Chain A
Amino acid sequence: MTEESLAIQTFALTRKFNDLTAVDSVDLAIKRGELFSLLGPNGAGKTTTINMLCCLLRPTSGTASVMGYDIIKEPFRVKERIGVSPQETVLSERLNSWENLSLIGKISGVGSVELRRRSEELLEIVGLLPRAKDQVAKFSGGMKRRLNLIMALVPDPDVLFLDEPSLGLDPQSRRAIWEYIERLKGKKTILLTTHYMDEADFLSDRIGIIDGGKIVALGTSDELKRGISDRGAMIILADNLSPQIIEGLRIKGRYTQVDEVSGHLRVSGKDIDFREIVDYLHSKGIVVRSAALEQPTLEDVFLHITGKALRE
């Protein structure tokens, strides 16, 4: 990859808060036009990483470049090229939507005609146009969140930082935001942080799993899942299962966990052999009504890599 094709590059980016290392020597290379997700639990270092990349926080050591500009040496060059939607909803409550967008737009040097056109388009897309003249203070949480997101887009930035864009939203608003983000894919470089698996899975080109300030896994959703595909699970619905038969599966050794969960038999472990299990059950005279291999989720990937569950 050449320097030109990269939108964001970090070089041993590190930030410490007293004794705590929030971001620990992170090296990332995000291509132009890519949607990259940082997935991790609260406190993993996602927001700290974003804050350094948008020049709010100085790295303790290491550095990064955004669109070719160093975040320490040329912060204003960087700021001219990015749009940020912070994790907290941050709006001017007594201004209406037009005025909020216009504040960011004018500060970023967008001309009035273009600003008007862009604001209208953005408000239309997120469905805020009918209430665009109302003071933001009167908005619902979901509406504020949507405005919070499009504020990052008024300057028409090259790089977009979306910090937990759907945090605390109802499923409907969440879906609306996802759809909008999807429309931006390929047009903008987007760095998104989330602790929702499905969000990362649904939206990202690539995912970096971050835990304890370190990138512990990196790849597309499929690549990450394939990495643990030898650790699968099989769900079987069958009649007349007896404890002896279940015990018989266990002693095959490879299947570390065999449980009966609400009438279903769940077998998990390394190298699940679908045929072997079905044959074994048949041989014992069991009628198998259905059997399926369970696809690993990002949750499993996370659990496998970090040894802990990612709580939503």
Chain B
Amino acid sequence: MRFLEFGKRNLKETWRDPASLAFLLGFPLIFMLLFGLAFGGNIPEYKLGVVDQDRSQISQAFVSEALDKAFEVKPYDNAGKALDDLEVGNIKAYIIIPQGFGEKVFRDWQGQSENISLDIKYDESDIVVAEQVLSIIDAITRAFARIEVPITLNASPLNLKAEITYIDFAAPGIIVFGLLILIPTAARMMVRDKELGFLARMLTTPIRPAEFISGYSLCLFAVAVVQIVIFMLVARLFGMDIVGNAGWAFLIFVLTGLSCIGIGMIIASLTKTENQAEPLSWLISMPLAMLSGAWFSIDLMPSWLRSFAHAFPFSHAIEASRDILIRGTSLGTITTDFLFLGIWTAIIFAAGTILFRRSMAS
């Protein structure tokens, strides 16, 4: 198997290069450790005003069992008073639970899909806090409302399978961001061989282009898998809950990694030197990270940008893995995201292979 021989060579080259190894393994480790240290502990209890206009059992349960776990909840009778307090900074945000909220959530639990809306007003003077508060509310609400098993309210309505912390919410995004760094990694590995003439030397041997490409993919795939394991283990160490099937989440990350390798191959085929490939890689991977929702919630983007963001697989990867990890969603519910990711990966990987292969012939 010629591709195995070539794959072995790539693995050895990577393994024995201290700088590249430190980057490939150290980067996810340090990145995730820092992230875990920063956000893994209990989130600061922000003061959240709550105006419960619904006053149903469900809405009360939502406040006392869900919101209260993450915030210091301050109840208000009407929105006016909450606004006054928000303006003077007594609370960071307030949430209005509209009439009919309980009904809708209940119907959701019965299996009918309902859009649940909550009005949130927040203090935007502290952008980071605002973003955090919104993210937490978002995560909590989704987790609360999307409980799949219909349950009676008098039993424990809060069947949140775990307590949501910020790391639960953010870890999938951080992992996908980390995997996006595979784009420059893959591009660099391939274009370096091209630049140094190693590709040319290999092409004078009977190795076929497809074997050559699989040799790279083998090595990059191994790198991706190791990185994902590190990411998930460290996140777990810092309290990321894995409610659903970890295997499915792992698979989602593997597909994400493969897409990134494919994009890296495309970049390697469009460029001739590392100096060209490097900036192009960052130019592509960073906007993709922004649009993936790893840093900012996509829901806060204007709708046209949101649609654009959803055209790439990374936001789907984050949402699908988040669903599995913190909500224990079964695969059936995220089929669309999953399929989208799978098909995208297949297309991008195929395109990368074809383009890189074409760039070999001259």
- Report the nearest B residue to A83, measured CB to CB: B204
Residues of B within 8 A of A86 (CB): 197, 200-201, 204
A54-B16 contact, Cβ under 8 Å, with A88-B196, A95-B9: no
Contact A82 B361 (CB under 8 A): no
Contact A90 B206 (CB under 8 A): no
A38-46, A99-107, A121-129, A244-252 - interface stretch: A99-107
- Report the nearest A residue to B200, measured CB to CB: A56
Within the complex, which residue of A58, A104, A109 is in contact with B361, where a contact is CB–CB below 8 Å? A58
A94-B12 contact, Cβ under 8 Å, with A58-B361, A106-B5: yes
Q: Is B203 an interface residue (CB 8 A)?
A: yes
Q: Is B152 an interface residue (CB 8 A)?
A: no
Contact B204 A55 (CB under 8 A): yes
A135-B205 contact, Cβ under 8 Å, with A86-B200, A92-B9: no
| Shortest distance between the CB of B19 and any CB in chain A (Å) | 11
| Shortest distance between the CB of B93 and any CB in chain A (Å) | 54
Between B197, B205, B208, the greatest number of chain A beta carbons within 10 A of the residue's beta carbon is seen for B205
Contact A79 B13 (CB under 8 A): no
Interface size on B, residues (CB 8 A): 22
A94-B13 contact, Cβ under 8 Å, with A76-B206, A103-B5: yes
Within the assembled complex, what's the spacing in Å between the Cα atoms of A115 and B197? 24
Contact A84 B204 (CB under 8 A): yes
Residues of A within 8 A of B362 (CB): 56-58
**CB within 8 Å of B: which A62-108 residues:** 76, 79-80, 82, 84, 86, 88, 90, 92-95, 99, 102-104, 106-108
A90-B6 contact, Cβ under 8 Å, with A99-B12, A107-B207, A155-B205: no
Within the complex, which residue of B6, B13, B198, B361 is in contact with A107, where a contact is CB–CB below 8 Å? B6
Residues of B within 8 A of A93 (CB): 13
Q: Is B81 an interface residue (CB 8 A)?
A: no
Within the assembled complex, what's the spacing in Å between the Cα atoms of A76 and B6? 18
Q: Is B2 an interface residue (CB 8 A)?
A: yes
Contact B201 A90 (CB under 8 A): yes
Within the complex, which residue of A82, A92, A94, A135 is in contact with B204, where a contact is CB–CB below 8 Å? A82
Residues of A within 8 A of B13 (CB): 92-95
Residues of A within 8 A of B197 (CB): 86, 88, 90
Contact B206 A108 (CB under 8 A): yes
Contact B206 A80 (CB under 8 A): yes
A56-B203 contact, Cβ under 8 Å, with A92-B13, A94-B16, A135-B16: yes
Within the complex, which residue of B9, B196, B204 is in contact with A79, where a contact is CB–CB below 8 Å? B204
Within the assembled complex, what's the spacing in Å between the Cα atoms of A63 and B310? 51
Within the assembled complex, what's the spacing in Å between the Cα atoms of A58 and B361? 8
Residues of B within 8 A of A76 (CB): 206, 208
Residues of B within 8 A of A155 (CB): 205
| Shortest distance between the CB of A76 and any CB in chain B (Å) | 6
| Shortest distance between the CB of B196 and any CB in chain A (Å) | 6
Q: Is B72 an interface residue (CB 8 A)?
A: no
Within the assembled complex, what's the spacing in Å between the Cα atoms of A226 and B13? 53
Contact B12 A54 (CB under 8 A): no
A90-B198 contact, Cβ under 8 Å, with A55-B204, A103-B6, A106-B5: yes
| Shortest distance between the CB of B326 and any CB in chain A (Å) | 41
Residues of A within 8 A of B361 (CB): 58
Contact B17 A94 (CB under 8 A): yes
| Shortest distance between the CB of B186 and any CB in chain A (Å) | 18
Interface digits, B1-26 against A, CB 8 Å rule (1 contact, 0 not)? 01001100100110011000000000
Interface digits, B180-209 against A, CB 8 Å rule (1 contact, 0 not)? 000000000000000011101111111110
| Shortest distance between the CB of B65 and any CB in chain A (Å) | 56
- Report the nearest A residue to B205, measured CB to CB: A107
Within the assembled complex, what's the spacing in Å between the Cα atoms of A109 and B206? 9
Contact B198 A106 (CB under 8 A): no
**CB within 8 Å of B: which A45-61 residues:** 51, 54-58
Within the assembled complex, what's the spacing in Å between the Cα atoms of A94 and B362? 28
Within the assembled complex, what's the spacing in Å between the Cα atoms of A94 and B19? 12
Within the assembled complex, what's the spacing in Å between the Cα atoms of A54 and B206? 11
Residues of B within 8 A of A84 (CB): 201, 204
Within the assembled complex, what's the spacing in Å between the Cα atoms of A92 and B198? 8
Contact B9 A99 (CB under 8 A): yes
- Report the nearest A residue to B1, measured CB to CB: A106
| Shortest distance between the CB of B2 and any CB in chain A (Å) | 5
| Shortest distance between the CB of B346 and any CB in chain A (Å) | 28
Within the assembled complex, what's the spacing in Å between the Cα atoms of A76 and B211? 14
A95-B12 contact, Cβ under 8 Å, with A56-B362, A84-B201: yes
| Shortest distance between the CB of B197 and any CB in chain A (Å) | 4
Within the assembled complex, what's the spacing in Å between the Cα atoms of A102 and B12? 13
A90-B205 contact, Cβ under 8 Å, with A95-B9, A95-B12, A103-B5: no
Residues of A within 8 A of B201 (CB): 84, 86, 90, 151
Contact B205 A79 (CB under 8 A): yes
Within the assembled complex, what's the spacing in Å between the Cα atoms of A161 and B207? 18
Residues of A within 8 A of B206 (CB): 76, 79-80, 107-109
Residues of B within 8 A of A58 (CB): 361-362
Residues of B within 8 A of A94 (CB): 12-13, 16-17
Within the assembled complex, what's the spacing in Å between the Cα atoms of A151 and B205? 11
- Supply 19 A–B pairs (Cβ within 8 Å), ascending by A: A51-B200, A54-B204, A55-B203, A55-B204, A90-B197, A90-B198, A90-B200, A93-B13, A95-B9, A95-B12, A103-B9, A106-B2, A106-B5, A107-B5, A107-B202, A107-B206, A108-B205, A151-B201, A161-B204
Nearest 9 pairs between A and B by C-beta? A94-B16, A84-B204, A90-B197, A90-B201, A54-B204, A106-B5, A94-B13, A79-B206, A88-B197
